[in-house]
Amino acid sequence: MDKKKKLIIGAVIILIFIIFYLGYRKQPSESLIEKQLKELNELRKAARLHPLTEEEIKAQMEELDKMRQEYEAKPLSEKEVQGQIDEISELRQ
């Protein structure tokens, strides 16, 4: 009975580690992309670059969607894309 309990406890601990590892692998991809975009925006602000045109913003958003698909993150809806475009435009003015 004692060996069975130890085996069950060991299996549960291993299962928990596997679940955390799989969850950890998916989470950083989205946060990494968002972090890179924030850093890029901060660098542009620091360099006092001119605001991006609508075409440049749309091209960046398309590139972001491609990156999200590559990392198996969910793509943004049109409403979310437009919201981010508006937010980026406000920050750059």
The span from the CA of 81 to the CA of 1, in Å, is 58
* Total count of domains within the chain: 1
- The domain in which residue 32 lies consists of 2-92
Residue 93 banded pLDDT, cuts 50, 70, 90: low
pTM > 0.85: yes or no = no
Q: How far is CA 88 from CA 3, 50, 71, 76, in A?
A: 60, 12, 23, 15
For the chain, the straight-line distance linking the first and the last C-alpha, in angstroms and rounded, comes to 70
Top-confidence residue, 26 or 77: 77
Mean pLDDT of 63-78: 73
Residue 24 banded pLDDT, cuts 50, 70, 90: low
- Please give the radius of gyration of the chain, using alpha carbons only, rounded to the nearest integer: 21
Instruction: Give the tens place of pLDDT for each residue, 29-64.
Output: 667 777 778 888 887 777 776 667 788 888 888 888
